[in-house]
Amino acid sequence: MTARLLGLQASIILGFALVSCGGSAAPAASSPAPSQAPASSPAAKPAGSESASAKPAASTAASPSAAASASAKPAASPKPAPTTLPPIPADTTTVALTKVAIPPIAGKTLSADTLDVDQAAHVLYATDRTAGGIDVFDVSTPSAKYLTTIKTPAESHGITVAKDINRLFAGQTGSKLAIIDIDPKSPTVNTVIATVDTGGKLRADELAYDPKDKKVYISNIDEGFVVAIDVTTNKVTKRFDNVGKKVEQPIYNPADGMVYMDDQGQNAIFQFDPAKDALLKTFDIGDDCQPAGEAVNPATSQVLLGCTNRTKQHTAVFDLKSGKLAGTFDNTGAGDMVVYDPKADRFLFAVDSFFRGASVGVFGGAAPVKFITNVPTSPGSHTLAYDETNKIVYVPDVQPNDGALLSFPLPAK
C-alpha cells in the first residue's frame, strides 16, 4: 500500500459525515458522523439479496474523484473525496467509532500506510510517517492504549509481525528493510537492530513473511521488482526484476507454503516458491480489478482482492486451486488493504474511495465468500488491522489535524 490515497482524505467535517448514513436513504450530507451513530443501526442483508448482487458496479456510479496522491508524506492540503450516492441501508452497519489518541502527533495529520497486530502479545503496530516511525499500542483490552513510537531510519510503508522470531519488519523509503526487535525480554526491544538494502532507490513497500523458510518477500512498487531476504542472515537471496507494473500487497499462504503478490497494473497474481526463490506462475485474474490488497483463507484457497478500479467499483474473489476468478461483488470497492482472520473467519477490506462512502467491507470467509456488510469509517482510511481477542477493528484517522486511530467492534453475524 502506498500513500497514494492520501490525496483523497477529507479536509472538512462534511466528508466524515458522508460515510455514516447507516439506515437512511437520504442524502449522505445530512447523516450524522459515524462516531456519533448508534451501534444498533440495521445490519446488512446476506449476499443473496438484490443489494448484495455479485455483479460489478455500473461504471456510471463511479466517484468523480479518481486521482490519488503518490506522495509518501502527509498531504499539506488534502482534498475531500465526495460521496456521489448514499449508502444502501441493507448493505450498511453503522456503529460508533472510538478515537485512540496518538500523543506525539496530537493536532497533526496522520500519514499511515499499514497496521498489523501481534495477536499473542496483544500489541498493535501502525506506521506513522508523521512521527517518523512505528506507533505501538497495547490492545490487551477493547480500549487500545498508546505505548511508544519506534523511530525508524526512514519513512515506513509496509510492516509485518514475525512472531516466531519476535521481529517486526518494515519496508522503508530508500529501498531498505528495517528489522525491529519486539521481544519484550530483550534489552533492545522496540529498536531497529538491522537494515537490509534491497537494491533499489525508492520504496521498499509491502511485504510478507514465510516462517517456514524464514524469508521476507518485499515489493519495490515504484521500480517493479521483488526481493527475497533470508532473515537468519539478513542477506538478499534473490531479486526478481521486471515482475510487474505495480506490485502490491504480498501474502504468505501456510496451506501450500507459497507467497502470492498482486499486481495492480496487470490484473495479475504472482506465485513465488520461497523454498526455491522461484517465480512459479502468473495468474490472470480475469477481471478488471486493479488489486492493491489481498488476503487468503488457507482452508479454502480463496483470495479476496482489494480492487482499486474507480470506474467499475467492486470487490473480487480469486480461487488459487482452480486459478480462476470465483466471483465479484458490487456492494463495496475502490479500496486498498485486505486482511483475513481465521478465528473470526472474516475478510476485512479497507475501502477509502467507495462512491457510497469510506468504510470497512466485511465478508464471510467460508467458500463461497459472501458479502456481509459495510461499516462506515473515515475518508482516506485505506488500511486496517483486527484484534481477534477483543474483536476490534482498527483504522487510521487521517483527517487533517486529527492524528489518531479509530476503532469499532466487528459486527456480529
Residue 63 CB coordination number (10 Å): 19
What pLDDT shows up at residue 83?
64
What pLDDT shows up at residue 171?
98
CA 315 – CA 337 distance, rounded (Å): 12
Residue given cell 499462504 in the structure block? 253
What burial letters (b/e) apply to 34-49, b meaning 16+ CB within 10 Å?
Answer: bbebeeebebbbebee
What pLDDT shows up at residue 413?
72
Please report how many Cα atoms fall inside a 13 Å half-sphere around the Cα of residue 408, on the Cβ side: 29
DSSP state of 92: B
Select from 357, 328, 355 the least CA-distant residue to 55.
328
Select from 283, 288, 390, 369 the least CA-distant residue to 334.
288
Q: Which helix (H) or strand (E) holds 14?
A: helix 13-17
What pLDDT shows up at residue 56?
37
Which parts of the chain have pLDDT scores under 70? 1-83
Kindly list the structural domains of the chain, giving each domain's residue range(s) and its CATH number in brackets, ordered by start: 4-409 (2.130.10.10)
List the 207-210 sheet strands across, edge first: 207-210, 215-220, 225-230, 235-240
Q: Residue 32: which residues within 8 A CB-CB, separation 6 or more?
A: 17, 20
Beta strands per DSSP E along 204-246: 207-210, 215-220, 225-230, 235-240
Q: Which pTM was predicted?
A: 0.81
What pLDDT shows up at residue 412?
87
Q: Which helix (H) or strand (E) holds 16?
A: helix 13-17
What pLDDT shows up at residue 60?
33
CA–chain centroid gap for 245, Å, is 20
